């Protein structure tokens, strides 16, 4: 099954930065291929996954707080980076779920951050934020304690997306499937994604336009969980997305720049709560 998934990733037609990242991921996956049996065993032995999708179904706007040190678009975001401290701050500030960047080369993340955050927040749903092109990475996510994982529609042809969604569900995980265009969103819906994300950042030029998230929200079917990603910096941004129907927002850069001490106020403001 893993080889089948790998053959379906369409790296050649992905946006430039995605193409570059995906080629790196293919190298990483092949280097780790010998670990697949042990990853499958560890995934099977892991504690049951928490309900990521259910955690984002509330009467108010939910916040997925992201642990992110750097990004290709913003460069270094947190010079004094302490993932454990931020995880604790996010938990105390009432985050509904936490996204953990595990890509090392482009985002200065690490797979090691997942078990670290899990040890600090045992009941918090965790999303593995990475560039998933192979089933091995999904087994690894579960083995490391993740409850969900990101799939980027621009990286995957439809059969691969279906396979990866099914693999995740067999491990108790519901993936967050991310789109930036109408075509990508249509593929995600056709694949049967139940948690749909819209990235307002154009990965070809890194420009952010929240109009993208607003427009694509209207294409989503009833019953799914909707997540807006990227470029959410102010309470006004969050309110605009809530007003057009989003269940949750994924926020990393603004929270990371604000630091742990500012998390409670920042999180309350994003949710529209009065001080």
Residue pLDDT tens, the chain, 275 long: 343 444 345 544 455 788 888 999 999 999 999 999 999 999 999 999 999 999 999 999 999 999 988 787 777 777 788 899 999 999 999 999 999 999 999 889 999 999 999 999 999 999 999 999 999 999 999 999 999 999 999 999 999 999 999 999 999 999 999 999 999 999 999 999 999 999 998 877 788 899 999 999 999 999 999 999 998 989 999 999 999 999 999 998 888 888 888 899 999 999 888 66
DSSP state of 208: B
* Per-residue confidence (pLDDT) for residue 12, from 0 to 100: 47
Q: Catalytic residues, which ones?
A: 66, 68, 129, 178, 199, 229-230
CATH 3.20.20.70 is right for the domain spanning 2-270: yes
Q: Is 31 within 8 Å of 199 (Cβ atoms)?
A: no
Burial category of 165 from C-beta neighbours within 10 Å (exposed 0-12, middle 13-18, buried 19 and up): buried
């Amino acid at each position: 099954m893993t080889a089948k998934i790998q053959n379906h990733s369409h790296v050649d037609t992905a946006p430039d930065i995605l193409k570059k990242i995906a080629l790196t991921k293919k190298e990483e996956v092949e280097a780790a291929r010998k670990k697949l049996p042990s990853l499958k065993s560890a995934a099977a032995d892991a504690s049951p996954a928490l309900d990521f999708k259910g955690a984002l179904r509330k009467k108010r706007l939910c916040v997925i707080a992201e642990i992110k040190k750097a990004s290709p678009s913003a460069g270094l975001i947190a010079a004094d980076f302490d993932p454990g401290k931020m995880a604790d701050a996010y938990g105390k500030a009432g985050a509904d779920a936490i996204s953990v960047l595990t890509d090392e080369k482009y985002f200065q993340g690490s797979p090691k951050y997942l078990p670290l955050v899990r040890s600090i927040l045992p009941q918090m749903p965790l999303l593995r934020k990475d560039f998933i092109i192979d089933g091995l990475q999904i087994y690894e996510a579960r083995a490391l304690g993740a409850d969900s994982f990101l799939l980027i529609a621009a990286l995957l042809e439809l059969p691969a997306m279906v396979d990866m969604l099914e693999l995740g569900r067999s491990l108790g995980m519901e993936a967050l499937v991310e789109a930036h265009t109408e075509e990508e969103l249509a593929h995600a819906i056709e694949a049967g994604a139940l948690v749909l994300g819209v990235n307002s950042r154009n990965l070809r030029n890194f420009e952010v336009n929240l109009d993208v998230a607003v427009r694509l929200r209207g294409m989503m079917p009833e019953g799914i969980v909707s997540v807006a990603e990227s470029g959410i910096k102010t309470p006004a941004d969050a309110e605009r997305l809530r007003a057009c129907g989003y269940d949750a927002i994924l926020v990393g850069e603004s929270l990371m720049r604000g630091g742990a001490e500012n998390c409670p106020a920042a999180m309350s403001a994003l949710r529209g709560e009065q001080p």
